[in-house]
Homo-oligomer: A and B are copies of this chain.
Amino acid sequence: MQAKVTIGFKAGVLDPEARAIQRSLQGLGFAEVEGLRKYKVIELDLAMTDRDAAIARARDMCEKLLANPVIESYTIDLVD
């Protein structure tokens, strides 16, 4: 089973990298870029068949390693 974890900053948390990318784009002439957000996506191949268990395990991975729960939020989608 495949799980897709999307991790981004919580609303209200400044993302300095996204800000820098937007400024660089504008400096390169892409003035039409009015906003920019950046996410990480991690696709996990899981040797599991139970959907509820897979989501619970992926959530556990987020809390323990993949995300920083202080400033980041995450969503988990099962692909299979």
> Is B46's CB under 8 angstroms from A42's CB?
no
Q: How far is the CB of A67 from chain B (nearest CB, A)?
A: 12
Sorting the interface of chain A by its residue count into under 10, 10 to 19, 20 to 34 or 35 or more gives: 20 to 34
Chain B neighbourhood of A18, CB < 8 A: 42
Complex Cα distance A41/B18, Å? 11
A-B contacts besides A34-B45, A34-B46, A39-B40, 12 pairs, CB < 8 Å: A28-B61, A28-B64, A28-B65, A32-B48, A32-B57, A33-B46, A33-B47, A34-B47, A35-B44, A36-B43, A37-B42, A39-B42
Chain A interface residues (CB < 8 Å from chain B): 6, 18, 21, 24-25, 28, 30, 32-48, 57, 60-61, 64-66
